[in-house]
Structure 1
Amino acid sequence: MKYCFTFFLLLFFSVMFSQEDAWVYFKDKPSSQSFLDKPSDMLTQRSLARRTAQNIALDIADVPVEKSYISQIKSSTGITVLAKSKWLNALHIRGTQTNVSVLKSLSFVDKIVFTNKTLNTGKKVNQNSTVQTKNKLKTTIDYAYGNSANQIQMLNGQALHKQNYTGSGKIIAVLDAGFPGVNTAQPFQNLQTNNRILGGYDFVNRNTNFYTGDDHGTLVLSTMGGYKENSLVGTAPDASYYLFITENDASENPIEESLWVEAAEIADSLGVDIITTSLGYFEFDKAGESHTYSDMNGSTTFISRGAEIAFNKGMIILASAGNEGRTPEPHIGAPADAVSVLAIGSVTAAKVKSDFSSIGPSFDNRVKPDIMAQGSATTVSDASGNIGTADGTSFSCPVMAGMVACLWQAFPTKTNKEIRQMILESSDRYTAPNFNYGYGIPNFGANLGINDFVINSTFSVFPNPAKTVISFSFPEENYSASVAIFSVLGQKVIEKQITNQNPFLSVETLNSGLYFYTFDADGLHKTGKIIKQ
């Protein structure tokens, strides 16, 4: 009996004093007219100019959350304010269930929504057992793309680059988990030297040191802004960037959705053109907080609602579709489910869907992912400046975002809606989309009247040098090929048949050094050197 009493006492204290997250929504914004009368108090001139150019009117969503409301919530017993959103007129708070619930009595509070869904409905919520893995006179330019050639040429991006459309004048906000090395590594020197890193912020730790955290954001940025001749050229090397940390890599918590929306609002106010985010939310650490597939309808999750508003403010939003294609719950996460967000899936170098790439449709049966780019063996730079490859829709997304910047530079008077539609209509499955590829792979050169996909008429071997695996890219009409690797003494050490669907050859067993390859397919014979690191 004594043990039972102790158990129930512990259970009582656990319920009474455990900390819960919630969103508190407000009924109004009493000071709205004074802000709308003086918009420069809310938004920079560049942000206002973007709206004017796209005929987007200011509205109450642009007005900051009422300061007196924030003060009263902060001063309430046991409440900590973690984030705020003017677009959704809400605060993300933390406190005991009792202390949070008391806030409902405040006259200006519209509603309280706990992140733990069981506290809102009183019903048990089914938990998913899978985990979300988380311009001047035009001149012709020939970039030495090196190993990054395939991911650019697949999108016919070199057609824009050769016309000097390299993202200049466009601003991209990257919302990610950290950016260490961006201020020191050689592939980012082009950005630093030309003052193309405009600033940033660490929303997780609430400080201005954004060259820290997990290097995932560094890898992501390198696919757009990285530049190392003959090794890596980003898809938008001359764009400018804001770097925002919104993801805490150590945990999965709904606060990250709120931080993302807060960062998106700042990006809007700064006049950003494009937001790219290689983040997705579905499963959280705490029981009751995770999303379900039914939430992937574009209007349920906090982050997706924020992302849709961001698009309505004139920006283009891109999000990774997710890496859950192999799991029992293979569908896209949030904010990729938002209606206007371009959800980017992943394909291999041979344009075949990566098996890990999350699929559609959205829960309300819309086409998702929207479009595809190379996310398997994408060439990236790490925080030390080492050039390598990485897999994930985390990389197909920024590869695409950089090309969007280049296209918008080429068509500066187009609205975000028009640019988005141009991209979809140029895609190779536009007339027959599906839930694996969406509308397919865009042809960015087509919008300039340049329709030759270089990748269909060229041959490449990458990465080279290589550590473990090399990939052969060859014309689509050649569906299979015989590859042989020879030592410097002429000894055949590897021989294998490869296909467009599986163009990879393992060199892991080889010693470091120089080797030669022969490549034979129907009507195509190639030889060359390979360096094994």
Structure 2
Amino acid sequence: MKKIVLVLVILTSIFINPQSMLQKISPALETKLNSVNASEKILVWIYFTDKGGSPQSYYSNPHLILSEKSLQRRAKVDSEHLIDFTDLPLNQEYVQTLIDNGFQIKQKSKWLNAVSGYADKNTIENILSFNFIKSVDVVKTFKKSDDELEFNQNGIEKFNYGPQPEGVHSLNYGQSYTQLNQLQVPAVHDLGYDGSGVTICVMDAGFNNLAHVAFDSMNIIAMWDFVNGDPNVGDEGDMGTGSHGTNTLSVIGGYAPGNLIGPAYRSNYILAKTENTDSETPVEEDNWVAALEWADSIGVDVTSTSLGYLEYDPPFTSYTWQDMNGNTAIITIAADLAVKKGIVVVNSAGNEGWRSTPNSLVAPADGDSVFAIGAVDASGTRVSFSSFGPTFDGRIKPDFMAMGSNVYAARSSGTTQYTYVSGTSFSCPLSAGVVALLLQANPNLTPIQLRTILRQTSSRSNTPDNFYGWGILKALDALNEIAVPVELTSFTANYLGNAVELTWITSTEKNNYGFEVQKRYDGEQFQTIAFVNGNGTTTNRVTYTYTDNDIKSDKIYYRLKQIDYNGDESYTTEVMVDIKIPQEFILHQNFPNPFNPTTNLQYAIGSRQFVTLKVYDLLGREIATLVNEEKLPGFYEIEFNATNLSSGTYFYKLQAGNYSEIKKMILLK
């Protein structure tokens, strides 16, 4: 009888396992597998069930996986949870197991807890048997729209929108004046805003003419080619050509007075090549997701993407208009996730405006939190190719409009030539540039707060529809809607070392007598705690600081009252500081690391202790004593200056009572 039972168990196992494996395969992948031969390799997503390991070390020290700038941006959205499960690294044992079984890794995504890569039928079947595999899906590849037109100065046609009025604005915009003036950008430039301090990631088909004079003063802080896997985002023998990226980058951030000026010409730029134009299916969504995660780790504030994903060449399965629901396309899911992390995602709505379907959107423009940008001409009329909404679930799209017909841009060949280009590809960077100007004015704005301000001030704010959204962006009107004093551009508060340090910056000052610093606790009224003298009248940026050492609660609210010489008063919005007293002793990894010549050391003290923080060289010799005193419970930060030291590896040790910890740092000169 036991033998019969054993046979039944084995037969049941054989029957169930294949069925369970099939449940892990998406319908799109199943269709794909049925259409290819056994040896053909398919580009797929492999999703994991978990990330394994112990995440607490990352939650308590998010600097291990993100830059300080990225963490500061995220704090605007959720200061209590700077990172979450999506930010944790992939389980490397899972990844290695896939590689050992013949899977060829292409991209990795911690946000999606997945990897993409190439595998044949047998490899996929083997992978499905692993219990850490949640699902497998085909990676979508995308067909580039062909309706973006280009007119160069010396060729088909030259458009003349009329000269810029003399003596009206501080900059000479040349032929780019019309596309900026429609958005009120010159008026905002006149107030001193130029995108400074804001980091923008432009994701496109490469950038093949960075030698153009329009890019001479551009501050490019990072570049990566996700198509070819190298730091060269130009052409130079790689797969894909970058003429499109050259155009879009010049529209948002070029600076060549008398010819072309972009709205955010002083921003910091991250360039990501994500599209391979060599093939008929040129864009893979995993490149875009990987680029977005990379930009997030650096500290991006705004992304500008002039790519749209809807139809694919055979034999790939296309998205349909019903899939434009904000929850189907992988890139849409990733885009909305980026917004939750504080990134403003700006994307072209698409160039599919002639379709007979109920919408003609392209992913990720269908995202709930994505700023989808449509195109108008110089007169403000929607151009026929601009995609329309609503999304399948009934939301208004596009969100906003900008000029996308005959936009002036840098040419992809030559270093001093320009061209006219058309498509929502170019309304997108214009809009992303406006976003950068507003974030410069108030870095504390979250993406959703910014969207609300833009909806309230765009040309159709009272009558939005699915062809124009909330209308053409109005940068000056939006700037005036931001609830800070006219002369104040940012106001932040940080708790460190049992004190709160307030910092605020003005771009220009007119008649500024000074600031009253006001404070309140929960349930109380604001009280003035200090007065900080103003700088009078100046056209320069001025940074003010004040340190509040009188901390009596774990939650404090601050605001500033600006007073002018003529008696005018204005208030900032409140800034709340949520003080968390540490329950343990922690020594964080220094940042940046490697460094030259300064780096910041952060530590937490869980109880009142005598604390020493010392630096040693490789031989164990003491180099510096940074802290040598009794400390109250709290978070502390100190700067270490290694100007007089040579390059090499150093150690720093924290001693507090019975707690002792050592970490390594690297000085590179």
TM-score relative to the length of structure 1: 0.75
Does the 8 A contact of 1:308 with 1:340 survive in 2?
yes
SS in 1 for 2:396: coil
Q: Which residue of 2 aligns with 1:382?
A: 411
Does the 8 A contact of 1:132 with 1:282 survive in 2?
no
**Equivalents in 1 of 2:457, 2:273: separation in Å?**
33
Please tell me the residue identity of whatever aligns with 2:46.
Answer: V
Q: 1:96 to 1:116 in 2, by over 3 A?
A: farther
CA-CA distance at 1:243 after TM superposition = 0.2
Indicate whether 1:23 and 2:45 are aligned: yes
CA-CA distance at 1:316 after TM superposition = 0.1
Q: 1:87 to 1:409 in 2, by over 3 A?
A: same
SS in 2 for 1:102: helix
Does the 8 A contact of 1:22 with 1:92 survive in 2?
yes
Q: 1:83 to 1:413 in 2, by over 3 A?
A: same
SS in 1 for 2:284: helix
1:245-269 per-residue CA deviation (whole Å, 9 max, x = no partner) reads: 0111123549621110111001111
Please tell me the residue identity of whatever aligns with 1:112.
Answer: V
Does the 8 A contact of 1:319 with 1:342 survive in 2?
yes
Please tell me the residue identity of whatever aligns with 1:102.
Answer: N
Does the 8 A contact of 1:115 with 1:254 survive in 2?
no
CA-CA distance at 1:84 after TM superposition = 1.3
Number of residue pairs matched?
Answer: 419
**Equivalents in 2 of 1:88, 1:233: separation in Å?**
38
Indicate whether 1:302 and 2:330 are aligned: yes
Q: Which residue of 2 aligns with 1:421?
A: 452
SS in 1 for 2:275: coil
Residue identity (%): 38
CA-CA distance at 1:352 after TM superposition = 0.3
Indicate whether 1:170 and 2:198 are aligned: yes
SS in 1 for 2:37: helix
Does the 8 A contact of 2:401 with 2:469 survive in 1?
yes
**Equivalents in 2 of 1:252, 1:65: separation in Å?**
32
**Equivalents in 2 of 1:282, 1:116: separation in Å?**
10
Q: 1:424 to 1:103 in 2, by over 3 A?
A: same
Pairs within 5 Å for 1:149-168: 149-168=177-196
- For residue 179 of structure 1, the aligned residue among 197, 200, 207 is 207
CA-CA distance at 1:276 after TM superposition = 0.6
**Equivalents in 1 of 2:108, 2:295: separation in Å?**
14
Indicate whether 1:88 and 2:112 are aligned: yes
Which structure: greater helix fraction? 1
Please tell me the residue identity of whatever aligns with 2:43.
Answer: D
Q: Which residue of 2 aligns with 1:73?
A: 98
CA-CA distance at 1:290 after TM superposition = 1.6
Please tell me the residue identity of whatever aligns with 2:217.
Answer: N
**Equivalents in 2 of 1:165, 1:288: separation in Å?**
46
**Equivalents in 2 of 1:30, 1:47: separation in Å?**
24
Does the 8 A contact of 2:276 with 2:283 survive in 1?
no
SS in 1 for 2:119: strand
SS in 1 for 2:176: helix
1:125-180 per-residue CA deviation (whole Å, 9 max, x = no partner) reads: xxx9x97447xxxxx96110111111111111122111111100000000000101
Does the 8 A contact of 1:202 with 1:244 survive in 2?
yes
**Equivalents in 2 of 1:423, 1:142: separation in Å?**
25
Q: 1:436 to 1:25 in 2, by over 3 A?
A: same
CA-CA distance at 1:412 after TM superposition = 2.1
Q: 1:294 to 1:353 in 2, by over 3 A?
A: same
Does the 8 A contact of 1:319 with 1:344 survive in 2?
yes
- For residue 297 of structure 2, the aligned residue among 264, 269, 283 is 269
Q: Which residue of 1 aligns with 2:562?
A: none
Does the 8 A contact of 1:25 with 1:111 survive in 2?
yes
Indicate whether 1:209 and 2:209 are aligned: no
Pairs within 5 Å for 1:36-185: 36-56=59-79, 57=81, 58-77=83-102, 79-115=103-139, 132-133=145-146, 142-182=170-210, 184-185=211-212
Pairs within 5 Å for 1:328-407: 328=356, 331-383=360-412, 384-385=414-415, 386-407=417-438
Pairs within 5 Å for 1:284-303: 284-303=312-331
Does the 8 A contact of 1:160 with 1:407 survive in 2?
no
Please tell me the residue identity of whatever aligns with 1:298.
Answer: G
**Equivalents in 2 of 1:44, 1:230: separation in Å?**
38
**Equivalents in 2 of 1:210, 1:41: separation in Å?**
27
Which structure: greater strand fraction? 2
1:183-203 per-residue CA deviation (whole Å, 9 max, x = no partner) reads: x11111121xxxx11111000
Q: Which residue of 1 aligns with 2:519?
A: none
SS in 1 for 2:221: strand
CA-CA distance at 1:50 after TM superposition = 1.3
CA-CA distance at 1:116 after TM superposition = 7.6
RMSD: 2.4
1:203-260 per-residue CA deviation (whole Å, 9 max, x = no partner) reads: 0000011133321111000011111112111011111100000111123549621110
Please tell me the residue identity of whatever aligns with 2:249.
Answer: L
SS in 1 for 2:369: coil
Does the 8 A contact of 2:169 with 2:187 survive in 1?
no
SS in 1 for 2:216: helix
Q: 1:59 to 1:254 in 2, by over 3 A?
A: farther
**Equivalents in 2 of 1:359, 1:143: separation in Å?**
35
**Equivalents in 1 of 2:179, 2:350: separation in Å?**
18
**Equivalents in 1 of 2:206, 2:272: separation in Å?**
8
Which is bigger in relative contact order (C-alpha 8 A, separation at least 6)?
1
Indicate whether 1:190 and 2:217 are aligned: yes
**Equivalents in 2 of 1:237, 1:178: separation in Å?**
19
Please tell me the residue identity of whatever aligns with 2:216.
Answer: Q
CA-CA distance at 1:17 after TM superposition = 1.9
**Equivalents in 2 of 1:246, 1:144: separation in Å?**
33
1:12-58 per-residue CA deviation (whole Å, 9 max, x = no partner) reads: 99522222222111111113333223211210111111122333521
SS in 2 for 1:243: strand
- For residue 435 of structure 1, the aligned residue among 436, 455, 466 is 466
1:436-474 per-residue CA deviation (whole Å, 9 max, x = no partner) reads: 111111211113449xxxxxxxxxxxxxxxxxxxxxxxx
CA-CA distance at 1:327 after TM superposition = 4.1
Q: 1:115 to 1:388 in 2, by over 3 A?
A: closer
SS in 2 for 1:15: coil
Q: Which residue of 2 aligns with 1:34?
A: 57
SS in 1 for 2:75: helix
**Equivalents in 2 of 1:175, 1:447: separation in Å?**
26
Does the 8 A contact of 1:156 with 1:444 survive in 2?
yes
**Equivalents in 2 of 1:157, 1:225: separation in Å?**
13
Q: 1:221 to 1:295 in 2, by over 3 A?
A: same
In structure 2, the gaps of 5 or more residues are 1-32, 148-167, 236-240, 482-669
Q: Which residue of 2 aligns with 1:485?
A: none
Does the 8 A contact of 2:275 with 2:282 survive in 1?
no
Please tell me the residue identity of whatever aligns with 2:126.
Answer: V
Q: Which has the larger radius of gyration?
A: 2
Q: 1:98 to 1:417 in 2, by over 3 A?
A: same
TM-score relative to the length of structure 2: 0.60
Does the 8 A contact of 1:94 with 1:100 survive in 2?
no
Indicate whether 1:314 and 2:339 are aligned: no
In structure 1, the gaps of 5 or more residues are 1-10, 118-127, 135-139, 451-533
